[in-house]
Amino acid sequence: MVLIVGGSYQGKTEYATSNFPNCRFFNQLHLFIKKRMDEGMGQEAILKEIYEAISEGDWVLIADELGNGVVPMDEKDNEWREVSGRILIELAKEAEEVHRVVLGIGQRIK
């Protein structure tokens, strides 16, 4: 598994498709996490579902970094930001590679 993170509209998808053309993509992982939280799922259940979804094949997970901006005023948005960050930390631990993309330029950080 490869994890690619970066800010919104920084070229993560384009970077992923050019550098990992033979992999399957799980794009906008941060929005998947939000949807599952809105459905009442907790962090561990969401993480388990992600691992089950990517259990076979070569996967590239792509997510926005949510923790580098203004802290949300809304409690639910703040919780989403924190849960998303914790899930990405766990995924990064297990990933073979982790890349961060800024302005379309990717850097391998693991």
Distance, CA of 56 to CA of 15 (rounded, Å): 22
% of residues, the chain, pLDDT over 90: 88
Look up the pTM and report it: 0.93
Alpha-carbon dihedral angle through residues 34, 66, 61, 30, given to the nearest 10 degrees: 10
Distance, CA of 19 to CA of 74 (rounded, Å): 37
Distance, CA of 12 to CA of 104 (rounded, Å): 7
Q: Residues 32, 79, 64, CA angle at the centre, nearest 5°?
A: 45
**For residue 43, what pLDDT is reported?**
97
Distance, CA of 66 to CA of 6 (rounded, Å): 9
Reported as a pLDDT band with limits 50, 70 and 90, residue 67 is confident
Q: Rank 63-67, 73-77, 101-105 by mean pLDDT and report only the highest.
A: 101-105
